[in-house]
Amino acid sequence: MAKKTLIAPVLGALAAIAAVSAANAGPAVATRWQKASIPQEDCLRRAEGAIAAAGFGRLERTEQSRYGTRDDYTAAVRCVTENGIVFIIVSGPSRQIADGLSGTVFQHYSAENK
């Protein structure tokens, strides 16, 4: 009888742990990349413009990257022009939304190149 009494609480605890684990799995991350054959400063300027045009605010700057936030999402554009590449990264709670936002940042960055 004691075993049957423990089954429900144990199953409940396992379900709660599974729910917490899923909720704490971390943010979704979506990436894009593009070849870069421009000077580093031009790449960073374009990165800032693309992030702002995609609706991200609170711009932050590092030597190789620009970051912006929009609600629960963060966008980053990293310029590694000495290796000829630009990375666009967006993270947040939804993979689908993060992917869409990374595409928007990518489009704005690419439009600046034309």
Domains defined for the chain, CATH in brackets = 27-112 (3.30.310.50)
Alpha-carbon distance of 30 to 90, in angstroms, equals 5
Tens-place pLDDT, residues 14-51: 444 444 444 455 689 999 999 999 999 999 999 999 99
Residue 76 near residue 86, CB atoms below 8 Å:
no
Tens-place pLDDT, residues 87-108: 999 999 999 999 999 999 999 9
| The pLDDT of residue 11 | 41
